Chains A and B, each alone.
Chain A
Amino acid sequence: MKKDEVKKVSLWRQTLRDLRGLHKSFRLWVLAATAIFPLIIYAYVILIGGIDELASGSRPKVSEEDPLFFLVTLAASAPFFISSRFYIFATLCKRTI
Protein backbone atom coordinates (compact mmCIF):
# COMPACT_ATOMS: atom_id res chain seq x y z
CA MET A 1 0.00 0.00 0.00
CA LYS A 2 1.31 3.44 -0.87
CA LYS A 3 1.92 5.98 1.87
CA ASP A 4 -0.44 8.62 0.44
CA GLU A 5 -3.49 6.35 0.34
CA VAL A 6 -6.37 6.46 2.83
CA LYS A 7 -5.91 3.50 5.14
CA LYS A 8 -9.16 1.51 5.15
CA VAL A 9 -9.64 -0.08 8.53
CA SER A 10 -11.59 -3.31 8.73
CA LEU A 11 -14.94 -2.33 10.24
CA TRP A 12 -15.57 -5.58 12.07
CA ARG A 13 -12.07 -5.58 13.57
CA GLN A 14 -12.60 -1.99 14.70
CA THR A 15 -15.92 -3.02 16.30
CA LEU A 16 -14.14 -5.80 18.20
CA ARG A 17 -11.40 -3.36 19.23
CA ASP A 18 -14.08 -1.00 20.58
CA LEU A 19 -15.77 -3.90 22.35
CA ARG A 20 -12.48 -4.84 23.99
CA GLY A 21 -12.38 -1.37 25.52
CA LEU A 22 -15.85 -2.00 26.96
CA HIS A 23 -14.55 -3.53 30.18
CA LYS A 24 -13.08 -0.14 31.09
CA SER A 25 -16.51 1.48 31.13
CA PHE A 26 -18.63 0.46 34.08
CA ARG A 27 -21.45 2.67 32.80
CA LEU A 28 -21.64 0.74 29.54
CA TRP A 29 -21.82 -2.54 31.41
CA VAL A 30 -24.75 -1.18 33.38
CA LEU A 31 -26.39 0.02 30.17
CA ALA A 32 -25.84 -3.35 28.51
CA ALA A 33 -27.45 -4.99 31.51
CA THR A 34 -30.50 -2.70 31.29
CA ALA A 35 -31.11 -4.01 27.78
CA ILE A 36 -32.37 -7.18 29.46
CA PHE A 37 -34.61 -5.21 31.81
CA PRO A 38 -37.87 -6.45 30.20
CA LEU A 39 -36.75 -9.98 30.88
CA ILE A 40 -35.77 -9.10 34.44
CA ILE A 41 -39.33 -7.86 35.07
CA TYR A 42 -40.70 -10.97 33.42
CA ALA A 43 -38.44 -13.25 35.46
CA TYR A 44 -39.26 -11.33 38.66
CA VAL A 45 -43.02 -11.87 38.27
CA ILE A 46 -42.44 -15.52 37.46
CA LEU A 47 -40.20 -15.78 40.51
CA ILE A 48 -42.95 -14.31 42.72
CA GLY A 49 -45.46 -16.73 41.16
CA GLY A 50 -43.01 -19.61 41.60
CA ILE A 51 -42.40 -18.76 45.28
CA ASP A 52 -46.17 -18.54 45.77
CA GLU A 53 -46.54 -21.97 44.14
CA LEU A 54 -43.76 -23.39 46.32
CA ALA A 55 -45.31 -22.01 49.51
CA SER A 56 -48.95 -22.85 48.91
CA GLY A 57 -48.69 -25.77 46.50
CA SER A 58 -51.39 -24.22 44.29
CA ARG A 59 -51.03 -22.56 40.93
CA PRO A 60 -49.89 -18.90 41.13
CA LYS A 61 -52.43 -16.12 40.51
CA VAL A 62 -50.11 -14.50 37.98
CA SER A 63 -48.87 -16.80 35.25
CA GLU A 64 -46.53 -16.16 32.34
CA GLU A 65 -49.03 -18.02 30.16
CA ASP A 66 -51.59 -15.25 30.69
CA PRO A 67 -51.63 -13.11 27.49
CA LEU A 68 -52.67 -10.01 29.46
CA PHE A 69 -49.65 -10.45 31.74
CA PHE A 70 -47.44 -10.69 28.68
CA LEU A 71 -48.89 -7.50 27.17
CA VAL A 72 -48.68 -5.55 30.44
CA THR A 73 -45.06 -6.68 30.98
CA LEU A 74 -44.21 -5.73 27.42
CA ALA A 75 -45.84 -2.29 27.74
CA ALA A 76 -44.18 -1.64 31.10
CA SER A 77 -40.73 -2.72 30.02
CA ALA A 78 -40.66 -1.20 26.51
CA PRO A 79 -39.68 2.32 27.72
CA PHE A 80 -36.74 0.85 29.66
CA PHE A 81 -35.61 -1.16 26.69
CA ILE A 82 -35.88 1.78 24.27
CA SER A 83 -34.21 4.27 26.61
CA SER A 84 -31.39 1.86 27.47
CA ARG A 85 -30.78 1.41 23.75
CA PHE A 86 -30.63 5.17 23.34
CA TYR A 87 -28.18 5.57 26.21
CA ILE A 88 -25.96 2.84 24.78
CA PHE A 89 -25.84 4.78 21.51
CA ALA A 90 -25.42 8.12 23.28
CA THR A 91 -22.53 6.81 25.39
CA LEU A 92 -20.88 5.26 22.35
CA CYS A 93 -21.32 8.43 20.29
CA LYS A 94 -19.80 10.52 23.10
CA ARG A 95 -16.90 8.11 23.45
CA THR A 96 -16.15 7.46 19.84
CA ILE A 97 -17.42 10.27 17.61
Chain B
Amino acid sequence: MKLGFRNFFYWLGWDLIKWAIVLMPPLILPALFIVIRDFIPFESASAAVFVILIIASIFFALLSSIRLTLVTPLAVIRSKPVLKGSWNMTRGKWWRIFGNSWMIYLIILAYQLGLSIALSVLSFPASKVLGSVSVPLMKLFSILMLYFYVGLMFSVPVLVAAFFSCAVYRMLLKEKEQTEAGAIAPRG
Protein backbone atom coordinates (compact mmCIF):
# COMPACT_ATOMS: atom_id res chain seq x y z
CA MET B 1 0.00 0.00 0.00
CA LYS B 2 1.50 3.33 -1.06
CA LEU B 3 0.36 6.39 0.88
CA GLY B 4 1.19 9.81 -0.50
CA PHE B 5 0.14 13.45 -0.50
CA ARG B 6 -3.31 12.65 -1.88
CA ASN B 7 -3.95 10.42 1.11
CA PHE B 8 -2.77 13.19 3.42
CA PHE B 9 -5.19 15.81 2.08
CA TYR B 10 -8.00 13.29 1.83
CA TRP B 11 -7.47 12.31 5.47
CA LEU B 12 -7.16 15.92 6.61
CA GLY B 13 -10.42 16.92 4.89
CA TRP B 14 -12.42 14.00 6.27
CA ASP B 15 -10.92 14.36 9.74
CA LEU B 16 -12.00 18.01 9.83
CA ILE B 17 -15.48 17.08 8.58
CA LYS B 18 -15.72 14.36 11.24
CA TRP B 19 -14.85 16.76 14.07
CA ALA B 20 -17.19 19.39 12.61
CA ILE B 21 -20.04 16.86 12.74
CA VAL B 22 -19.16 15.69 16.26
CA LEU B 23 -18.59 19.13 17.77
CA MET B 24 -21.13 21.20 15.85
CA PRO B 25 -24.25 20.37 17.95
CA PRO B 26 -22.56 21.14 21.31
CA LEU B 27 -21.45 24.46 19.80
CA ILE B 28 -24.62 25.34 17.89
CA LEU B 29 -27.35 24.25 20.32
CA PRO B 30 -26.29 26.51 23.26
CA ALA B 31 -26.02 29.39 20.75
CA LEU B 32 -29.49 28.52 19.48
CA PHE B 33 -30.73 28.67 23.07
CA ILE B 34 -29.39 32.22 23.48
CA VAL B 35 -31.37 33.23 20.37
CA ILE B 36 -34.66 31.56 21.41
CA ARG B 37 -34.36 32.37 25.14
CA ASP B 38 -36.21 35.67 24.77
CA PHE B 39 -39.19 33.93 23.17
CA ILE B 40 -39.66 31.44 26.04
CA PRO B 41 -42.26 32.94 28.44
CA PHE B 42 -41.32 31.20 31.73
CA GLU B 43 -37.98 31.04 33.54
CA SER B 44 -38.46 27.34 34.48
CA ALA B 45 -39.37 26.43 30.88
CA SER B 46 -36.26 28.27 29.73
CA ALA B 47 -34.06 26.24 32.09
CA ALA B 48 -35.73 23.00 30.96
CA VAL B 49 -35.13 23.86 27.28
CA PHE B 50 -31.49 24.61 28.08
CA VAL B 51 -31.01 21.28 29.89
CA ILE B 52 -32.72 19.37 27.05
CA LEU B 53 -30.52 21.06 24.43
CA ILE B 54 -27.35 20.32 26.42
CA ILE B 55 -28.32 16.65 26.94
CA ALA B 56 -29.28 16.30 23.25
CA SER B 57 -25.98 17.81 22.09
CA ILE B 58 -23.91 15.59 24.43
CA PHE B 59 -25.89 12.54 23.30
CA PHE B 60 -25.30 13.37 19.63
CA ALA B 61 -21.59 14.07 20.20
CA LEU B 62 -21.15 10.72 21.99
CA LEU B 63 -23.14 8.81 19.40
CA SER B 64 -21.42 10.36 16.40
CA SER B 65 -17.88 10.23 17.84
CA ILE B 66 -18.18 6.45 18.29
CA ARG B 67 -19.95 5.85 14.96
CA LEU B 68 -17.32 7.94 13.17
CA THR B 69 -14.32 6.27 14.88
CA LEU B 70 -13.32 4.60 11.63
CA VAL B 71 -13.27 7.81 9.58
CA THR B 72 -9.54 8.23 10.19
CA PRO B 73 -8.31 4.78 9.05
CA LEU B 74 -10.81 4.77 6.16
CA ALA B 75 -9.69 8.24 5.04
CA VAL B 76 -5.99 7.38 5.31
CA ILE B 77 -6.36 4.42 2.95
CA ARG B 78 -8.91 6.35 0.81
CA SER B 79 -11.61 3.73 1.20
CA LYS B 80 -14.82 5.34 -0.09
CA PRO B 81 -17.43 6.26 1.19
CA VAL B 82 -15.72 7.41 4.37
CA LEU B 83 -18.56 8.72 6.58
CA LYS B 84 -21.13 6.18 5.44
CA GLY B 85 -18.55 3.39 5.60
CA SER B 86 -17.66 4.17 9.20
CA TRP B 87 -21.32 4.62 10.17
CA ASN B 88 -22.30 1.27 8.59
CA MET B 89 -19.34 -0.70 9.95
CA THR B 90 -20.04 0.39 13.52
CA ARG B 91 -23.79 -0.36 13.32
CA GLY B 92 -24.82 -2.50 16.31
CA LYS B 93 -21.37 -2.15 17.86
CA TRP B 94 -21.75 1.20 19.60
CA TRP B 95 -21.70 -0.19 23.16
CA ARG B 96 -18.73 -2.43 22.42
CA ILE B 97 -16.62 0.40 20.98
CA PHE B 98 -17.81 2.83 23.66
CA GLY B 99 -16.91 0.41 26.49
CA ASN B 100 -13.54 -0.42 24.98
CA SER B 101 -12.72 3.25 24.39
CA TRP B 102 -13.49 3.88 28.08
CA MET B 103 -10.97 1.22 29.01
CA ILE B 104 -8.44 3.02 26.81
CA TYR B 105 -9.29 6.36 28.45
CA LEU B 106 -8.79 4.80 31.88
CA ILE B 107 -5.38 3.46 30.82
CA ILE B 108 -4.43 6.92 29.47
CA LEU B 109 -5.65 8.49 32.72
CA ALA B 110 -3.54 6.07 34.76
CA TYR B 111 -0.53 6.85 32.54
CA GLN B 112 -1.05 10.61 32.94
CA LEU B 113 -1.43 10.26 36.69
CA GLY B 114 1.72 8.11 36.94
CA LEU B 115 3.62 10.54 34.73
CA SER B 116 2.52 13.52 36.84
CA ILE B 117 3.62 11.84 40.06
CA ALA B 118 6.92 10.57 38.60
CA LEU B 119 7.88 13.94 37.09
CA SER B 120 6.94 15.92 40.18
CA VAL B 121 8.91 13.52 42.40
CA LEU B 122 11.93 13.79 40.08
CA SER B 123 11.78 17.51 39.31
CA PHE B 124 11.15 18.84 42.83
CA PRO B 125 14.57 17.90 44.32
CA ALA B 126 16.32 18.84 41.06
CA SER B 127 14.77 22.33 41.01
CA LYS B 128 15.65 22.76 44.71
CA VAL B 129 19.30 21.95 44.01
CA LEU B 130 19.33 24.24 40.96
CA GLY B 131 17.58 26.96 42.98
CA SER B 132 20.42 26.97 45.48
CA VAL B 133 22.87 27.55 42.58
CA SER B 134 20.94 30.06 40.47
CA VAL B 135 17.31 31.23 40.50
CA PRO B 136 17.06 31.89 36.69
CA LEU B 137 18.54 28.42 36.06
CA MET B 138 15.87 26.90 38.29
CA LYS B 139 13.19 28.90 36.45
CA LEU B 140 14.53 27.68 33.11
CA PHE B 141 14.59 24.09 34.33
CA SER B 142 10.99 24.38 35.61
CA ILE B 143 9.75 25.74 32.28
CA LEU B 144 11.52 23.01 30.30
CA MET B 145 10.19 20.33 32.63
CA LEU B 146 6.69 21.78 32.23
CA TYR B 147 6.84 21.55 28.43
CA PHE B 148 8.39 18.11 28.55
CA TYR B 149 5.52 17.07 30.81
CA VAL B 150 2.82 18.64 28.60
CA GLY B 151 4.44 17.06 25.53
CA LEU B 152 4.36 13.57 27.02
CA MET B 153 0.86 14.15 28.37
CA PHE B 154 -0.51 14.86 24.90
CA SER B 155 1.67 12.88 22.47
CA VAL B 156 1.10 9.46 24.04
CA PRO B 157 -2.73 9.74 24.08
CA VAL B 158 -2.61 10.81 20.39
CA LEU B 159 -0.60 7.67 19.60
CA VAL B 160 -2.83 5.40 21.70
CA ALA B 161 -5.97 6.84 20.07
CA ALA B 162 -4.43 6.16 16.65
CA PHE B 163 -3.68 2.57 17.65
CA PHE B 164 -7.20 2.15 19.00
CA SER B 165 -9.01 3.32 15.87
CA CYS B 166 -6.77 1.12 13.68
CA ALA B 167 -7.38 -1.87 15.99
CA VAL B 168 -11.16 -1.28 15.85
CA TYR B 169 -11.08 -1.07 12.06
CA ARG B 170 -8.96 -4.19 11.70
CA MET B 171 -11.04 -6.25 14.13
CA LEU B 172 -14.42 -5.17 12.71
CA LEU B 173 -13.19 -5.87 9.18
CA LYS B 174 -11.98 -9.30 10.23
CA GLU B 175 -15.28 -10.13 11.94
CA LYS B 176 -17.23 -8.88 8.91
CA GLU B 177 -15.17 -11.05 6.59
CA GLN B 178 -15.64 -14.05 8.85
CA THR B 179 -19.39 -13.45 9.01
CA GLU B 180 -19.64 -12.96 5.25
CA ALA B 181 -17.67 -16.14 4.66
CA GLY B 182 -21.04 -17.75 5.29
CA ALA B 183 -20.03 -20.85 7.19
CA ILE B 184 -19.63 -18.91 10.41
CA ALA B 185 -22.60 -17.54 12.30
CA PRO B 186 -22.22 -14.25 14.18
CA ARG B 187 -22.28 -14.55 17.95
CA GLY B 188 -24.69 -12.54 20.11
Contacts and interface: CB of A to CB of B under 8 A. Distances in A.
Interface of A: 1-2, 4-6, 8-12, 14-16, 18-19, 22, 28, 32-33, 35-36, 39-40, 42-43, 46-47, 50-51, 53-54, 64, 82-83, 85-86, 88-90, 92-94, 96-97
B186 A89 contact: no
A42 B103 CA distance: 32
28 contacts: A6-B175, A6-B179, A6-B185, A6-B186, A8-B175, A8-B187, A10-B100, A15-B100, A15-B104, A15-B164, A35-B158, A36-B155, A39-B154, A40-B147, A40-B151, A46-B143, A50-B139, A53-B140, A54-B137, A64-B143, A83-B8, A86-B11, A88-B158, A89-B11, A90-B7, A93-B1, A94-B1, A96-B167
B12 interface: yes
Nearest to A28: B159
Nearest to B2: A94
Residue with the greatest number of chain B CB neighbours at <10 A, chosen from A8, A12, A51: A12
B166 A43 contact: no
B115 interface: no
Given A64-B143, A89-B11, A89-B72, A36 B152 contact: yes
B5 to A, nearest CB: 10
Contacts of B159: 22, 28, 32, 35, 88
Q: Is the interface of B mostly helix, strand, loop or mixed?
A: helix
Interface of B: 1, 3, 7-8, 11-12, 72-73, 76-77, 96-97, 100-101, 103-104, 107, 134, 136-137, 139-140, 143-144, 147-148, 150-152, 154-156, 158-160, 162-164, 166-171, 173, 175, 178-179, 183-188
A46 to B, nearest CB: 5
A21 to B, nearest CB: 10
B160 A15 contact: yes
Contacts of B185: 4-6
A43 B150 CA distance: 11
A91 B124 CA distance: 38
